[in-house]
Amino acid sequence: MNNLNNLGKYFIVFALFTQLLFAVSNKYYQDKFDTTKKLYLGAVMSNNKTKEINYLKKLINYGDKLHMDTIKYKRELNRLDNTLIVSRPINTKFTLKPKINYNIKSIKQIKNTIVVEFKNKVNKSDIKFSENRTNGYSYDYFHLKGNFKDAKPTKLKMEGVYNIKVTQQKKSVLLIALKNKMNLKTIYIINNNKIIIKVLKENTSKNLKNLFPKKLAITKQEVKVIPNSIIYPSKKTIVIDAGHGGKDAGAVGKNKAYEKNIVLNICKNLAKELRNNGFEVYLTRSNDKYVKLSRRTHLANRKKADMFISIHANAARKSRAKEAHGVETYFLSPARSARAKRVAALENKGDMGKMGYSSKNSLLTILNQGKITASNKMSIDIQKNMLHNLRKKYGKKAIRDGGVREGPFWVLVGAQMPSVLVEVGYISHPTEGRRINTKTYQKLVAHGIANGIKSYFIKN
């Protein structure tokens, strides 16, 4: 009898212990649930979707352990990441099933225009443009935020374009890639729920009405992003610096061809073209006068310019005069190559007094770290378009690609915006030196630089 009484006591103790464990466990998950709920509400207030999703998953986990109805959290989770769908089976258990959100309705081609229509309104953040050249082909890449159900079967063909590929890279990124032997002139606009990509032909009219097929019904007010000098959403300010001037003649070629005069003519041509395309332009000098470097960049900073560009002509020593030729574009950074140092030394002569080379490099690093990347991108666009424009007239072999380089050019140091220095050719070369002293060459260079500037602002 005593044994039975003892056994009954053990059962009672065990039951009480189990209830205690259950209560402790419930208290633990309840506290976790309450704390997470506060954190979730904080994430909602701060509009941090990543944290919202994280806390919702925890709320569902803790709620299930507490045997709570967590359907509202599951629905909210589904709404946020668009990859889950909540359903309620007969047994009242809640499951999450995958779902693909196809937010692109259609992709159509009208002549040399591609129209991507979305189910939702789109903006600038929904498209990223990049370009590349490899194995003799130029590629224009348009990465669109969206998922298109018929991406794989969609085949596009366009006159003058070697190949167009439509690929669903990820569930949230659609790629439209244009491939061609020659570099394509492409533009895009954002129009309500459409992204419109157009391949331009040479001498395309600047009249907006003639730019797109009538059935697209594009109005001037609807155009948000559009490159290649047609229209811009906001006016950009450019300061153009003609190197040297006055008592500083710069490099001297045959028949007293002075660098200061050549670059001034190019700068005037460049300023005229940019103004015709809606840019606000200022010249550091408009005649043959000497301007201190500090005053050149001071003008750019005072005008709150979006870009500072300094134009120069290159020169080589007599032993290399017959072989050194081509165009080059530099952005401000401590020079890493011997050639960059040589060119910089030529252009910087007398500008920085007795400052040592290591001190100059340290100064460059401190003052310009933030704008180096932007200046590098801008240099690439200017160099590419300058080459393209000159080679159409003189041929590929005649115009050498000197490349985009880093160099410590002190005329760029004080500028508080992306800035580059362009070497438009070698005044010391027998053929190129004579060529760059002509109006034809100077206008072609200016047009190429202008196209590079427009291309940079569209991509960035």
Which residue type, as a one-letter code, is found at position 114?
I
Query: What is the amino acid identity at position 240?
Result: I
**What tokens appear for 94 in the block?**
């809640």
Residue 228 lies in a domain: no
Is residue 231 domain-resident?
Answer: no
SS3 412: helix
Expressed as residue numbers, the domain containing 142 is 104-222
End-to-end CA distance of the chain: 90
User: How is residue 252 annotated by DSSP?
Assistant: B
Distance of alpha carbon 460 from the chain centroid:
4
Q: What are phi and psi of 7, to 5 degrees?
A: -65, -40
Is residue 144 within 8 A of residue 245, CB to CB? The reply is: no
How many CB atoms within 10 Å of residue 138? 17
Say yes or no: 36 and 128 in one domain: no
pTM score, whole prediction: 0.50
453, HSE (Cβ side, Cα atoms, 13 Å): 33
pLDDT 10s per residue in the chain (460 long)? 555 455 555 555 455 555 555 555 667 778 788 888 778 777 776 677 788 888 888 888 887 877 777 787 787 787 776 554 444 443 444 455 556 678 899 999 888 889 999 998 888 888 888 888 888 888 989 999 999 988 888 889 998 899 999 999 888 899 999 999 888 878 888 878 888 888 876 433 344 445 455 555 444 333 333 333 333 345 789 999 999 999 999 999 888 899 999 999 999 999 999 998 878 999 999 999 999 877 888 898 899 899 999 999 999 988 999 999 999 998 876 444 454 545 555 555 544 444 444 444 444 443 445 577 888 899 999 999 999 999 999 999 999 999 998 776 665 666 778 888 899 999 999 999 999 999 999 999 999 999 999 888 877 7
358-363 contacts, C-beta under 8 A, 24 or more apart? 360/334, 360/408, 360/410, 361/334, 361/408, 363/413
Residues 127 and 170 in one domain: yes
CA distance 409 to 421: 8
26 vs 45: CA distance, rounded Å: 28
Q: In a 3-state reduction of DSSP, which class is residue 67?
A: coil
Q: Give me the helices (H) in 248-371, please.
A: 259-276, 293-302, 338-347, 357-368
Alpha carbons 240 and 310: distance in angstroms, whole number: 6
Predicted pLDDT of residue 414: 66
**Of 282, 197, 274, 280, nearest to 229 (Cα)?**
274
Q: What is the residue-wise DSSP string for 130-189?
A: EEEEETTEEEEEEEEES--TTTTT--B--TT-SEEEEEEEETTEEEEEEEESSPPEEEEE
- Six-digit token pair at 188? 């895009």
The answer as to whether 112 is a domain residue is yes
Identify the pLDDT of residue 284.
95
**Which residues neighbour 340 within 8 Å (Cβ) at sequence distance 6 or greater?**
330, 405, 406, 407
Residue 14 neighbours by CB distance under 10 Å? 10
Q: Are residues 91 and 121 located together in one domain of the fold?
A: no
The span from the CA of 243 to the CA of 337, in Å, is 23
Is residue 148 within 8 A of residue 174, CB to CB? The reply is yes
Look up residue 163 and give its DSSP letter.
E
**CATH code assigned at 435:** 3.40.630.40
Give dist(CA 80, CA 296) in Å, integer.
51
What is the token pair recorded at 440? 């034809």
Sign of the alpha-carbon torsion through 270, 275, 278, 279: positive
The answer to whether the beta carbons of residues 197 and 186 sit under 8 Å apart is: yes
- Evaluated on CA atoms 227, 229, 234, 238, the torsion sign reads positive
Residues 356 and 376 in one domain: yes
How many folded domains does the chain comprise? 3
What is the bridge-based pairing of β-strands 419-426 and 327-332?
antiparallel
> For residue 229, is it within any domain?
no
Residue 347 confidence (pLDDT): 53
Q: What is the DSSP string of 13-68?
A: HHHHHHHHHHHHHHHHHHHHHHHHHHHHHHHHHTT-HHHHHHHHHHHHHHHHHTT-
Same domain, 125 and 195: yes
Place of tokens 């020659």: 182
Angstrom distance (rounded) from CA 396 to CA 136: 14
On whether residue 311 sits in a domain, the answer given is: yes
Are both 159 and 67 inside the same structural domain? no
The first and second tokens of residue 317, run together, are 């020593």
Instruction: At 396, give phi and psi (nearest 5°).
Output: -65, -40
Give yes or no: residues 245 and 353 share one domain. yes
> Do 79 and 206 fall within a single domain?
no
For residues 210 and 359, membership in a common domain is answered with no
Q: Decide which of 98, 128, 149 is a domain's last residue.
A: 98
pLDDT of residue 363: 40
As a whole number of angstroms, the distance between CA 400 and CA 421 comes to 17
For residue 119, the domain's CATH number is 2.60.40
The confidence score (pLDDT) of residue 432 equals 96
Domain boundary among 168, 196, 222: 222
pLDDT of res. 46:
66
Which of 98, 115, 146 finishes a domain? 98
